[in-house]
Amino acid sequence: MIYVGGLPFSTGSSPPERTDMLGALMEHPILVSSSHSFRDIPEGKFSVREESSLERSTESRSVYVFQREYATVDPALVEFVGTDEATTCVGIVVRNRRSGMTSVAHLDSPKVVDIGITQMLSLVLDRNSDCILDVFSLHLYVHIVGAFEDASPQLGSSEIHVELDGYSLPLCTKIIETLEERGENFHIQTLHVLGHNTRWDSEGNAYPIFTGLLVETCTGSVNPARFDSTSRIPDEIVRRIRVCSSHEDPSWTGRLLETYDTQSDRFVVAPCCWTMRQFRIASILIELSDPEILLSCSTSPSAEGPNFVDSIRRKCEYLIQHPVWTDTFRSKQPRVFERTSGGGWTRRE
C-alpha cells in the first residue's frame, strides 16, 4: 500500500487504473512540493580525488550500485550508498526509518520490478519478534528518482501503448503498481520522475535533470548525485559486463543482480559466463563510431552522459582481451572485494 503525507493514497476509482495511480501521485501537492525541493538541491559530485562542499570522497565508507544491481546497507557499516547513469532507468530507495537499514536499486526494466522489490525488502524489514510492525505501520520510506519524458505519454489513459510510451513510463508505472499491491506500507517521500525530472532545450528535445542519487544512511537524506569513473567501484568493468551476461542466464530472469554482502560489508561478484556471441558483438561495436555506439547501445542516445561511449568501449576491449570467462572467474569462483582501512576496496586473491 502507498502512503503520502502519512495517509493512505487513493485515486478515488475502484480499482484504479495503473496510469491513473501514477498520474495522480505525480500531481499530489505534497509530492509536487518535494519534487520541487529535490530539484533545487545542487547535484553532488562523488569522487575519490577531490572533496569540497559539493564533493565527497569515497574515502568515506560507501557502496555504489550499477544498472540492474541492488544493495542493502547497514548504517553502522556504510555512510553513503548511491547510483547514477539512470536516464530511462530509475533509482529507488527503500529505508526502514526505525532501523536505518537502507536498500538502493537501479531498475532498468518492468520485468525486474516485482522480484527486485522483494529482494530489496529481504533485509530492510525487521526480522525480530515485532517484525509485523513493519507491515502494518509506516516504517518504510521510499524515494524514486530518474527516468524522464523520453516519449509523449498520456497519463490517465485507460490503455498503455508501450511502443508509444518510450521506456520511462512503463517502468515508473510498474514500480507504483507493485508498491500499491504489496502488503507493506510504503511512505513515498520523493517521486522525481518523468515530467518532474525533464528539461527541454531550445529545440524541444527532452533530457533528464538528474540521473543519480546519494543516500546518507544515518539521516536517510537523499540528494541528487553523479559519480566519476573512479568512484564507480569496485570491479567496474566486470560488473558492467554482468548486466549484459545476465540477460542470457535464466537464473537471473526477473531478478536484480546481487553483489554487495550486507553482513560482511564485502562485494562478492558471482561468476557470470559470457559467450562467443558477446565476443563477436564486442568485436563489432569496437569498430563503430561514437554516434553509432550511442544509437546501438542506448535507450536514450541524446541524453547519455559523457562517459557512456567510453564505458562501452572499455567493456568491449575487456571482452576481446578476455574471451574466456573463466580467466576472470578463476576456478569459477566469485571475485571478492574487502573494505580497506581507508574505506576503499581491495580484491582478496
Is 50's pLDDT higher than 50? no
Q: What is the mean pLDDT of residues 172-191?
A: 96
d(CA 343, CA 290): 35
d(CA 255, CA 1): 22
Does 47 or 327 have the greater pLDDT score? 327
What are the helix and strand counts (H, E) for the chain? Answer: 9, 20
For residue 100, what are the CA distances in angstroms to 72, 140, 185? 10, 10, 16
Of 11-15, 52-56, 214-218, which range is least confident?
A: 52-56
DSSP 344: -
Is 184's pLDDT higher than 90? yes
Would 205 be classed as within a structural domain?
A: yes
User: pTM value?
Assistant: 0.90
Q: What is the mean pLDDT of residues 224-228?
A: 95
Query: How many structural domains are present in the chain?
Result: 1
Residue 94, Ramachandran bin (φ over 0: left; ψ between -120 and 50: alpha; else beta)? beta
**pLDDT at residue 157, rounded to an integer:** 40
Is 158's pLDDT higher than 50? no
For residue 11, what are the CA distances in angstroms to 39, 44, 206? 25, 35, 28
Would 317 be classed as within a structural domain?
A: no
**Would the CA dihedral through 140, 59, 313, 282 be positive or negative?**
negative
Would 113 be classed as within a structural domain?
A: yes
Nearest-5° Cα angle at 325, 319 to 329 = 120
Would 16 be classed as within a structural domain?
A: yes
**pLDDT at residue 58, rounded to an integer:** 46
Evaluate whether 173 touches 18 at the Cβ level (below 8 Å): yes
Strands (E), the chain: 2-4, 7-8, 44-47, 55-57, 62-64, 69-73, 80-83, 90-96, 102-107, 140-146, 186-193, 198-200, 206-208, 213-216, 222-227, 257-258, 260-261, 266-269, 335-339, 345-348
**pLDDT at residue 152, rounded to an integer:** 52
Strand partners for 215: 81, 222
Query: What SS3 state is found at 213?
Result: strand
Would 285 be classed as within a structural domain?
A: no
Would 226 be classed as within a structural domain?
A: yes
Query: What SS3 state is found at 337?
Result: strand
pLDDT per residue as tens digits for the range 278-320: 999 999 999 999 999 999 999 999 999 989 999 999 999 999 9
Evaluate whether 54 touches 338 at the Cβ level (below 8 Å): no
Does 135 or 46 have the greater pLDDT score? 46
Would 340 be classed as within a structural domain?
A: no
Would 348 be classed as within a structural domain?
A: no
CATH for 205: 3.30.1330.200
Is 41's pLDDT higher than 60? yes
What domain range is 195 assigned to? 2-233
